[in-house]
Structure 1
Amino acid sequence: MDGQGASKQGEKDSAQVSSADWIAEVSHELRLPIANIKLLIETLLNGALDDKAIATRMLMRAQSEAERLQSLVSDLLSVEQLASARSEVQAEWLPLRKRAEYALESTSKLAKESAVKVELKIPNDFRVYANPTQLDQVLLNLLENAIKFTPAKGQVTIRAGEKEGVFSVEDTGVGMPSQEIPKIFQRFYRIDRAKTRGSTGLGLSIVKHILDLHGAKITVSSQEGKGSIFLLEFPSPKWARSYASE
């Protein structure tokens, strides 16, 4: 086998290993909520239905597991769609404040339950050049992540930068060690599973996929016990088109 043939075979083998790892990861993540739902149903059928309080509690847990499973399937589909995307992103100038208000509304229940205050420090005329649906997904995922890692009475802020397309999502949460930062965009990676209960572990991976499609950059800075800052830089239309054509 010549050098070129060996290289192609190596790439093929690597892709197969990667695919096998992906299937193994997905199977593991799907198995837990399914097993939990099965156990809850079996317990109910074995007599727990006779106690209304216990039955109600178990049905609520089953509902929670079903919602987690639904979120996981939705995120898996998003990852696959983004990973296979090859066409140029259909982007346009968008008012960041309006898109952030949508994300804020979608996470209001989580913020209220967590006793976390969310603020938008974005001028009405501040713009980002992006795909509307994908920008919404980025804001929603980053906001959810920030709220989940911020203790009660803490604060999350979406702040516009000094130039268009640049903004940050900041929190006064638990922060993370510097060695963890490069890993947080990996699929299914969770720093602390206890703090991310109900999380699919795909939110930040989806964010990274979307940013890569836009030719955008994300920089993370964090201090343990003080919080984290996710700084995003979306390119102008000229640079966005240049990136997509490469």
Structure 2
Amino acid sequence: MLFKIPTSLQRICRTLAFRLTLWYAGIFSISSCAAFLLFYFLVSQTILNRMDQDLLDKAGLFSAVLSVQGIQGIKKIAVLESRAAGERKIFFRLLYPTGEVFASSYMDYWRNVKVEASAVKRLIKSQRFFFETITIEPDHQNVRVLYHLSAPNVVLQTGLSMDTYSSFLAAFKRMFAGAMTIVVILSAVCGWFMSRKALGGLEHVTRTAREISGASLSARVPESNNQDELNELAKTFNRMLDRIENLVRSIREMSDNIAHDLKSPITRIRGLAEITLLHDSSPEAYENMAASTIEEADRLLDMINTMLVISRTEAGVGGFQFETLDISALVAEACHLFVPVAEDSGIDFTFNLEPDLILNADRGMLQRAISNIIDNALKYTSSPGNVWVYARKTFDFESKSSDYQNKSSDCQNKSSVYQNKTSQFQKNSDNRQENFSASIPVTIEIGVLDTGVGIATEHLERVFERFYRADPSRNKRGTGLGLSFARTIAREHGGDLTLRSTSGQGSLFLLTLPYDNFQVI
């Protein structure tokens, strides 16, 4: 039966920390082995070179004695040197160029060392010296042998036992084996500690991800002051959680809003049908019920269609049909539609439009977006309030828009003052047009300024969300999609819809479109 690895051990082996530990220990061990091999090679070569130098020194001594004392002197030196170093450590032989031995030290121990005739011939030919390493039996002893031409007719063969050399290297190997065992263990421990330390941030991310559930998205990964990758990961993960939390909250709110907006017309349809059926109703009552049902159904369809347009546009499949339009005429058409509504509500509604504002746009979508903005302004402005619509080319629209935002609070004082400001705008606009007639406009700006209830700061961005209403009572008609639709259309045309408002003083909606979407005439 095969040994089964415990599940806990299998889980550890699959972790990134374990793999990093293996990599660290493996690389460190391989590096240590490579360093040892290099050191071993250098040490062995150093010792071998030292042995060769000792043999050459002795060969030089023999040559000097030979030149002074002759053959008898060199025989005497060979015996003395052999006895001094140890007859098992070194030997000497004197050879004729033919390879015949004519003198030697005590050779009982070295009798298995042969004289290679080829080596002697090689030496005679090179007129120098050379080394070789041989192994003698029966002890498998390594011997370093030198062939040296001491005189024209005398060849010196000397050999030095390599037992000390081999013993030193063997001890070095044993020491390294023990050291490597310790190195591997320490590298594994250090690798595990370092990997766990390095991956500590990932554990926080994993733990936080496990704590997150559909009911709670408030958990966050602790961030440190270290500017490393794991801290960046923690920051990115926390930002992602913030976006997810906001998205989930928006989805919940939108679901509640959708449920409320769908419930109201459906409840009215059911109520009308129930009342009509429970009472002895005339044909006229049934006709009224049918008309009301159609009206509420149209309201539902309009809401659904608006949602589809927003979704398709945001997905890039809106299917817009762009054509060259006169924005002044387009905005004027939208404004004329709301003149009766403003008059019925007792609101002073004026519009001031520069001529020849040419834009490539989808007529229906852009007109509907502008209508939504105007409708929103009229809806939240009470009598005797003011709503003013303007359209113009702008070169420095941020500073001018800021000026009109500051003026919006004054618009609620008197209608005459409001009218004076509109004529002053026209005068300033004409002057600007003269000053910059040779320039290219940066944007076209369509502004809708009202003196209505205004919007609190915390609601400024959220009013562009689907189904969101700053008025929690929902006592105003509408679906909560108008401003979201308008901003989506503006951005599809390369522009944007922004809002500046002060609660209780009024609002300024700015629909801006970039110059590269225009044909100036």
Q: Same fold (TM over 0.5)?
A: yes
Of residues 489, 492, 506, the one that matches 1:213 is 492
State the Cα distance separating 1:58 from its structure 2 match.
7.5
- Distance (whole Å) between structure 2 residues aligned to residue 213 and residue 37 of structure 1: 36
Of residues 325, 332, 350, the one that matches 1:94 is 325
State the Cα distance separating 1:17 from its structure 2 match.
6.8
- Distance (whole Å) between structure 2 residues aligned to residue 60 and residue 87 of structure 1: 32
Instruction: Give 1:39's aligned residue.
Output: 271
State the Cα distance separating 1:160 from its structure 2 match.
2.1
Instruction: Give 2:345's aligned residue.
Output: 114
RMSD over equivalenced CA pairs, Å: 3.8
Instruction: Give 1:170's aligned residue.
Output: 449
Structure 1 runs (4+) greater than 6 angstroms displaced: 16-20, 54-61
Q: Are 1:148 and 1:195, in contact at CA under 8 Å, matched by a contact in 2?
A: no
Q: 1:142 to 1:87 in 2, by over 3 A?
A: closer
Instruction: Give 1:182's aligned residue.
Output: 461
Bigger shift: residues 202-211 or 76-85 = 76-85
Q: 1:107 to 1:60 in 2, by over 3 A?
A: farther
Q: Are 1:129 and 1:235, in contact at CA under 8 Å, matched by a contact in 2?
A: no
Q: 1:112 to 1:78 in 2, by over 3 A?
A: farther
Instruction: Give 2:46's aligned residue.
Output: none
Identity of aligned residues (%): 28
Q: Are 2:357 and 2:393, in contact at CA under 8 Å, matched by a contact in 1?
A: no
Of residues 340, 354, 368, the one that matches 1:123 is 354
Secondary structure of 1:49's counterpart equals coil
- Distance (whole Å) between structure 2 residues aligned to residue 90 and residue 76 of structure 1: 19
Within the alignment, does 1:85 sit opposite 2:316 as a pair? yes
Q: 1:110 to 1:70 in 2, by over 3 A?
A: farther
Amino acid in the other structure paired with 1:40: L
Amino acid in the other structure paired with 1:204: L
- Distance (whole Å) between structure 1 residues aligned to residue 446 and residue 371 of structure 2: 14
Q: 1:167 to 1:188 in 2, by over 3 A?
A: same
Instruction: Give 1:138's aligned residue.
Output: 369
State the Cα distance separating 1:167 from its structure 2 match.
2.1
Q: When the two structures are superposed, what TM-score results if normalisation uses the length of structure 2?
A: 0.38
- Distance (whole Å) between structure 1 residues aligned to residue 498 and residue 381 of structure 2: 19
Q: Are 2:257 and 2:468, in contact at CA under 8 Å, matched by a contact in 1?
A: no
Of residues 389, 407, 416, the one that matches 1:158 is 389
- Distance (whole Å) between structure 1 residues aligned to residue 303 and residue 369 of structure 2: 16
Q: 1:20 to 1:32 in 2, by over 3 A?
A: same
Q: 1:207 to 1:196 in 2, by over 3 A?
A: farther
- Distance (whole Å) between structure 1 residues aligned to residue 250 and residue 357 of structure 2: 41
Secondary structure of 1:120's counterpart equals strand
Q: Are 1:129 and 1:236, in contact at CA under 8 Å, matched by a contact in 2?
A: no
Structure 1, residues 150-169: CA drift from partner, whole Å, max 9, x if none? 11232221112442512211
Secondary structure of 1:107's counterpart equals helix
Q: Are 1:89 and 1:214, in contact at CA under 8 Å, matched by a contact in 2?
A: no
- Distance (whole Å) between structure 2 residues aligned to residue 225 and residue 232 of structure 1: 22
The alignment covers a number of residue pairs equal to 231
Amino acid in the other structure paired with 2:456: P
Q: Are 1:68 and 1:199, in contact at CA under 8 Å, matched by a contact in 2?
A: no
Instruction: Give 1:29's aligned residue.
Output: 261
- Distance (whole Å) between structure 2 residues aligned to residue 170 and residue 82 of structure 1: 27
- Distance (whole Å) between structure 2 residues aligned to residue 142 and residue 116 of structure 1: 16
Amino acid in the other structure paired with 1:36: R
Structure 1, residues 155-186: CA drift from partner, whole Å, max 9, x if none? 22111244251221111111111111010000
Gaps in structure 2 of 5+ consecutive residues:
1-239, 395-442
Structure 1, residues 9-58: CA drift from partner, whole Å, max 9, x if none? x9xxx7x97997667754543232112210122022222737x9x99998
Q: 1:219 to 1:148 in 2, by over 3 A?
A: same
State the Cα distance separating 1:217 from its structure 2 match.
2.3
Q: 1:188 to 1:168 in 2, by over 3 A?
A: same
Of residues 500, 505, 512, the one that matches 1:233 is 512
Q: Are 1:129 and 1:234, in contact at CA under 8 Å, matched by a contact in 2?
A: no
Instruction: Give 2:216's aligned residue.
Output: none
Of residues 143, 148, 153, the one that matches 2:379 is 148
- Distance (whole Å) between structure 2 residues aligned to residue 136 and residue 59 of structure 1: 31
| Higher Rg of the two aligned structures | 2
Q: 1:159 to 1:112 in 2, by over 3 A?
A: same
Q: 1:195 to 1:154 in 2, by over 3 A?
A: farther
Structure 1, residues 204-245: CA drift from partner, whole Å, max 9, x if none? 111121122122122211122221001122012269xxxxxx
Instruction: Give 1:5's aligned residue.
Output: none
- Distance (whole Å) between structure 1 residues aligned to residue 250 and residue 464 of structure 2: 18
Q: Are 1:129 and 1:237, in contact at CA under 8 Å, matched by a contact in 2?
A: no
Of structures 1 and 2, the one with the larger relative CO (CA 8 A, separation 6+) is: 1
Secondary structure of 2:281's counterpart equals helix
State the Cα distance separating 1:108 from its structure 2 match.
4.0
